[in-house]
């Protein structure tokens, strides 16, 4: 597990942690004496780390953060050392003055990183050679909130306004827009979550979830982009932060989690959702960070990111603004067992 800091100082840590033994076993175990993560190697970033992505099938990490849209490439445990070493920088054309870049990685053909801060500045760069292999053509310059590889040829771009666009690396001049989100105030921000495609299924058959800073949730089938599959409303205490996060469970059909509103993570079963837009009831709420104490600013901790364990169906990891990292399971409510 890799984590990083996002403070404004030049001493933000990047750490690779070894999970506790209970998280590494395939079978569910009882109480385990070792419950803490251990630092395997680490380094320091001179800039805040807002995005941290592992490059599959390599020992490389790619990070991004203010003050511009450039990327930093890191080598983990270089030459059998315990240091995460900065190895290169991927500069972007006209990147100065742009917001930090959103990123996604893949290694289908070669180690690639998809990156960009605005819709008209999306590109794919080969990580090791820093060669540009694709640039998306768009007349819009909306700010991006997420990027994703659906496969080695198909890209999905989500703007902060909620606009979804499909792109194909084989057709650089073509961007296809998906169903729009419900009309909302200009200040509302959106993010998206895509599912890991199950074996034998086309990536486009996996629904895309979008989450707004007001707690609106939409599901979209990319094979029929003209309409929404479902619309729901999450019960949130206040508008979401810049750390909005929504993710699909990779090993459970129809389950997703959201965070970024406070110190909690909410888990939902979407299988009963429809297009009514009614309030959705979470089937589980993780409150561990909220009770962990105040953050460095004295404010209650805010969950900054969460992710699902790839093999353990009901296990999630979440991190918060107070530097806490939690691994937790949730239990299926009685009556739905």
User: Residue 24: enclosing H or E segment and its boundaries?
Assistant: helix 21-24
Q: Stretch 181-206: mean pLDDT, rounded?
A: 70
Residue 78: name the closest of 64, 51, 60 by CA.
60
Rama region for 77: left / alpha / beta (φ>0; ψ in -120 to 50; rest)? left
Strand pairing class (230-234; 279-280): parallel
CB neighbour list of residue 141: distance below 8 Å, 6 or more residues apart:
118, 119, 120, 121
Query: Burial level of 40, CB count in 10 A (0-12/13-18/19+)?
Result: middle
Q: What angle do CA 109, 310, 164 make, to 5 degrees?
A: 65
- Torsion sign, CA atoms 317, 81, 33, 30: positive
- The pLDDT value recorded for residue 5 is 94
Q: What is the pLDDT of residues 150-192, one digit of tens each?
A: 988 989 999 999 988 888 888 877 777 765 666 655 678 999 9
**pLDDT at position 131 over 90:** yes
Q: What is the pLDDT of residues 86-127, one digit of tens each?
A: 999 999 876 556 789 999 999 988 999 999 999 888 999 999
Instruction: Please report, in angstroms and rounded to a whole number, the separation of the first and last CA atoms in the chain.
Output: 31
Domains and CATH numbers, the chain: 93-329 (2.130.10.10)
Give the model confidence (pLDDT) of 221-270 as tens digits: 888 877 889 999 999 988 888 899 999 999 999 999 999 999 999 999 99
Do β-strands 51-54 and 60-64 pair in parallel, antiparallel, or remain unpaired? antiparallel
Decide if 190 contacts 245 (C-beta within 8 A). Answer: no
Residue indicated by tokens 């909302």: 184
Highest mean pLDDT among 8-22, 35-49, 322-336: 35-49
């Amino acid at each position: 597990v890799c984590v990083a800091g996002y403070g404004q100082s030049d001493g933000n840590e990047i750490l690779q942690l070894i999970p506790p033994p209970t998280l590494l076993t395939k079978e569910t175990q009882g109480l385990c004496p070792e419950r803490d993560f251990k630092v395997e190697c680490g380094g320091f970033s001179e800039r805040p780390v807002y995005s941290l992505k592992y490059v599959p099938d390599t020992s490389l990490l790619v990070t991004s953060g203010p003050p511009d849209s450039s990327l930093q490439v890191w080598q983990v445990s270089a030459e059998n050392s315990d240091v995460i070493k900065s190895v290169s920088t991927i500069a972007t054309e006209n990147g100065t003055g742009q917001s930090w870049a959103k990123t996604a990685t893949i290694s289908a053909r070669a180690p690639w990183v998809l990156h960009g801060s605005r819709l008209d500045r999306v590109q794919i760069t080969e990580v090791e050679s820093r060669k540009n292999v694709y640039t998306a053509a768009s007349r819009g310059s909306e700010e991006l909130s997420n990027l994703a590889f659906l496969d080695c040829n198909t890209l999905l771009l989500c703007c902060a306004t909620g606009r979804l666009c499909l792109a194909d690396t084989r057709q650089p001049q073509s961007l296809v827009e998906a169903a729009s989100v419900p009309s909302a105030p200009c200040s509302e921000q959106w993010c998206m979550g895509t599912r890991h495609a199950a074996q034998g299924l086309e990536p486009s058959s996996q629904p895309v979830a979008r989450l707004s800073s007001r707690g609106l949730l939409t599901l979209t089938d990319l094979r029929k982009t003209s309409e929404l599959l479902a619309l729901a409303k999450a019960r949130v205490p206040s508008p979401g932060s810049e750390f909005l996060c929504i993710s699909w469970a990779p090993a459970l059909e129809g389950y997703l989690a959201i965070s970024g509103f406070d110190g909690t993570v909410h888990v939902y079963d979407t299988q009963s959702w429809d297009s009514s837009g009614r309030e959705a009831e979470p089937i589980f709420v993780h409150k561990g960070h909220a009770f962990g104490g105040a953050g460095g600013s004295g404010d209650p901790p805010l969950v900054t990111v969460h992710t699902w364990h790839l093999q353990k169906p009901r296990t999630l990891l979440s991190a918060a603004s107070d530097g806490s990292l939690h691994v937790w399971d949730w239990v299926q409510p009685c009556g739905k067992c």
